[in-house]
Amino acid sequence: MVENEDIFAQAEGNEEVQTKLKEPVAPVKTAIPGKTISDEEAIAMVDSANGDDELELIDENFSPKLSTESSKEKTERKGQRIKADKRILTIKSVRITTPKTYKLENGEKVLIEPSVTKSGAQHYTSKLEVKYEEDNIIEYYPNIKVWVNDGVLSEDVSFYKKGYSKVSCIAKMVMEKLSKGAFTLEKKTINERATIMPTEETKAKFDAYCELVNDQEIMDWMVGKKVKIELSEGNYNGPWFRNDIAEFVD
C-alpha cells in the first residue's frame, strides 16, 4: 500500500499542491502500489481526504440504486438499432417522439431556438418512432413538424402527406393500402432526394383521399403489419444508417 508520504513526494515542487499538503490530511486508502499520479490527481486526492466542500457533487439526499433490469430486459424496453437490410419485420408499436428543445452547453441547459419557415412560422422537429417485434429493433423516421404558437409547443401535430420526407413516404404507402389501390405510387428523385409520389394519372385521386383519411388512422393501421426494410447509409458528422420502410408486404 502507498502511504501519504508517497503522494507528498510526487507533488514536491508544485506550489498549489504544497499549499494543499499543509492542511491536515486523513489517511488515503485508495492509492495503487506502483502507480504514478499527476499533480492534479494529488490535489484531488487531498481534497477528497479533507472533504473539500468545493468538490462536493453529491446531493445530500442521494441514494444509489442498483438496476433491477437485466441487459436483455433493458434492450426489450429501450429497443436496439441494428442494420436489417432486406429483412421482413413486424411493427410492434408506433409513436411520435418529443421534440428536442434544450441542449447542454458547459453543463448548463440552453434553449434551442426553433426553426423558422419562409413565412415566419416557428417549429421544432419530431420523428416517428417505430419498434419492431424482431430483435427489439427500433428506428426513427424524419420529419414531423411541431409548431410553436405564442411561445408554446402545439400538441396538434400532423403528417404532411404530400411532402418528400420519410414520414410522408410512410403515410403515402399506408394510404395506398387503406384506399385499396385508389391511386398508384412511384419512386422519384426530387431535389436530389429519393422519395415516392402518386403518379400523374392518379394524383387527383390521391389528393381526394388525403381529405378523407386522418393521421391517427394511419398510425393505428401500421401496428402489427409486416414491412420490407431497405437500408440507407451515409456520412454526415460521422457514419449513419437508417432502416427505411420500402413497402408493406401484407
Strands 152-153 and 185-190: unpaired
The residue that leads in pLDDT, 59 or 200, is: 200
Residue 16 has pLDDT above 80, yes or no: no
Tell me phi and psi for residue 128, to 5 degrees: -95, 115
The Cα–Cα gap between 160 and 126 comes to: 13
Whether residue 210 contacts residue 162, with contact meaning beta carbons closer than 8 Å, is answered with: yes
Residues of the chain above pLDDT 70, percent:
77
The answer to whether residue 161 scores a pLDDT higher than 50 is yes
CA distance 173 to 248: 7
The pLDDT mean for the chain works out to 83
Cell numbers describing residue 112: 434551442
Q: Is the pLDDT of residue 63 over 80?
A: yes
153, 101 contact by CB (below 8 A): yes
Average pLDDT over residues 64-83: 90
**Cα distance between residue 25 and residue 17, in whole Å:** 13
| φ, ψ (nearest 5 deg) of residue 33 | -55, 135
Give the Cα separation of 21 and 8 in Å (integer): 7
Q: Kindly list the domain boundaries of the chain, sorted by start residue.
A: 4-55, 71-248
Rounded CA-CA distance 98/109 in Å is: 17
Q: pLDDT digits over 115-157, tens only?
A: 999 999 999 999 999 999 999 999 999 999 999 998 899 999 9
Q: Which three cell numbers stand for residue 191?
A: 431535389
Question: Is the Cα dihedral 104, 108, 109, 112 positive or negative?
Answer: negative
pLDDT at 52: 44
Q: 220 CB contacts (<8 Å, ≥6 apart)?
A: none
Residues facing residue 35 across a β-bridge? none
> What is the band of 92 on the pLDDT scale with cuts at 50, 70, 90?
very high
DSSP character at residue 157: -
Beta bridge partners of 229: 245
Q: For residue 76, give Cα distances in angstroms to 51, 61, 65.
A: 42, 31, 21
